[in-house]
Amino acid sequence: MSRTPLTLPASGPMAVRGFPWLLAGQFTSSVGDLCYAIALPWLVLSSGGGPALLGVVLACFGVSRAVAIPAGGVLADRFGPRVIMLVTDAVRFGLVGVLALLAGTVTPSLAVLAPIAVAFGVCSGVFVPASYALLPGILPEKDLTAGNSLSTVATELGTLLGPALGGILVSRLGPSPALLVDAGSYLVSAAALLAVRAPRREQAPAQVADGHAVTFGTVLLQGRLLQVLLVAAIIGNVVYAGIAEVALPTLAHEDFGAGGYGVMLAGLGVGMIAGALLARPQWRRPRPGYLLAILVLVMGASVAAVPYSGGLVGATVCVTVFSVANGWSGIAIMTMLQRWAPRHLLARVMSVMLLAMSGTFPLSVAVTGWGVERYGVAAFFVVAGCGMACGGLWALSRRVFRNYRHGDQFAEKGVTAS
C-alpha cells in the first residue's frame, strides 16, 4: 500500500519553504529559555549565592540586553536578519553550554556569572530586532499578519510548557540538565533558520526619495506614525511591567496564594495565544488605528477591574481578557511597522520600538512598588487601567494613527504612501 506524501498548504505562510521549521525552532527555543529562567535562579540560590547575587546577575543581563538592542537593529539591516540570528544562536549555545558545565564543577560567583550574563544579554539584545525583521524578507506581504500570529502562538506555547519541563529537570536532576536543554534549543533554532529559504534580499536596497537615500534619522524625525506608536508604547509599558511584576503578585499574595497566582499566570498565557489567533485574519474593519484603540481600552478596563471582580475566578477572567487584547494588539502593531518601515531600515525601526517597550521596565517596577506600598494594590490597578486607556485615546487623537490603512508606507515629510 503506497503512502500519501505530506504536503504543505497551497497558500499562506505555512506554504513558504522552511516556515514550519522556523515555528518549530521558535517553540523549542522558547521552551529552552523557560528552562533557563528556572535553572539560573535555582543554581544561584541553592549554592549559597543569595538574592543579592541573583539580582546583580539579572541586572547584568537586563542592562546589556537593552544596550545591545539598537546595535542589533543596525547589524541586522547591514548583514541580514538571518545571519545575525544564526550567529547569536551559535554564541548562546556556547555560553549556556559553558554555564551548564560550570554549574556542576564550581561554586557560582559574580566573577563567574557576570561575564556570561553580560554576553548572553548582548546576544539576546542583538537577536530580537533581527527576529522581527526576518519575516518580511521571507513571507509575501499579504501573509505577514498570519505569519506573525503563528510565530507568537509557537512562542507562547513554549512559554506555557517550558516552566513545567524546567521545574521537573531542576527538581529531580539539578540545574545542569535544564541548562543543557536550553543550550540544545539554540542548536535546534539555528538548524531551523538554515532550513528557511534565504530571504529575497539579505540586504534590502535603500529607499530613495528626492535623489537621496532615506536614512534612519529621517524616519525617526519625520515618521509621525512611528512617533505616535513609540509614545503609546512607552505609556502602555510603563504601567504594564509594574502590573505584571509587582501589582499582580502582590494581589495574589494577599488574596489568592501561590496557587491562585499560578492560575492567573496561566490565564495570561492562554490569553496571549487566543489574541494571536484572533489577530491572524487581516481585519478590514475597523481601520487598524481604531482597532488598536479599542483593544487598548479593553486592556485598560480589564486591568482596572481585576481587584474588584469578586475573587480568583473573576480576576483570572479579567487577566485573560487583558492578555487576549494585549496579544492581538502586539501583532497588529508589529505588522503595521513591518509594512510601513523602509525595508532597508526595518530592523532599526523595530529596535527603537523594542527599546521603548523594554527600557521602561526599571522605572515601571520602581514606581509601582512605591505606589502599591503607599496607596494599596487595588488603587494601582485602577490608575494603571486609566493610564492605558488614556494612551490609547491619545493615539487615536493623532490623525496619522487614525487614518493609517493596510499597506501605507513611510514617505518623507510625514506622508504615507500606499
Q: Tell me, yes or no, whether 171 and 263 share the same domain.
A: no
- Phi then psi dihedrals of residue 417, to 5 deg: -130, 135
| Residue 94, number of CB atoms within 10 A of its CB | 13
Q: Tell me, yes or no, whether 73 and 96 share the same domain.
A: yes
* Residue 8 counted as domain residue: no
**Confidence band, pLDDT 50/70/90 cuts, at residue 199:** low
pLDDT tens for residues 33-73?
888 888 888 888 777 777 778 778 888 888 888 889 999 99
Mean pLDDT score of the chain: 84
* Residue 348 counted as domain residue: yes
Q: Which of 148, 180, 203 is the last residue of a domain?
A: 203
Q: Tell me, yes or no, whether 179 and 227 share the same domain.
A: no
Q: Tell me, yes or no, whether 140 and 41 share the same domain.
A: yes
Task: Give the pLDDT score at 398.
Answer: 93
Above pLDDT 90, what percent of the chain?
A: 31
Q: Tell me, yes or no, whether 358 and 257 share the same domain.
A: yes
Return d(Cα 60, Cα 52) in angstroms, integer: 12
- Phi then psi dihedrals of residue 208, to 5 deg: -115, 135
pTM of the model: 0.80
Q: Tell me, yes or no, whether 154 and 227 share the same domain.
A: no
Q: Which of 170, 187, 203 is the last residue of a domain?
A: 203
Return d(Cα 403, Cα 50) in angstroms, integer: 53
CA dihedral 216→122→192→172, nearest 10 degrees, is -150
Q: Tell me, yes or no, whether 155 and 264 share the same domain.
A: no
* Residue 3 counted as domain residue: no
Q: Tell me, yes or no, whether 168 and 193 share the same domain.
A: yes
**Confidence band, pLDDT 50/70/90 cuts, at residue 83:** very high
Task: Give the pLDDT score at 252.
Answer: 84
* Residue 7 counted as domain residue: no
Return d(Cα 360, Cα 339) in angstroms, integer: 25
Q: How many residues does the chain have?
A: 418
Q: How many domains does the chain have?
A: 2
Q: Tell me, yes or no, whether 338 and 409 share the same domain.
A: yes
Q: Tell me, yes or no, whether 253 and 215 share the same domain.
A: yes
Q: Which domain holds residue 225?
A: 209-414
Q: What's the CATH number where 367 sits?
A: 1.20.1250.20
Q: Tell me, yes or no, whether 147 and 169 share the same domain.
A: yes
Q: Which of 177, 203, 229 is the last residue of a domain?
A: 203
Residue 323: half-sphere exposure toward Cβ, Cα within 13 Å:
22
Above pLDDT 70, what percent of the chain?
A: 90
Q: Tell me, yes or no, whether 179 and 218 share the same domain.
A: no
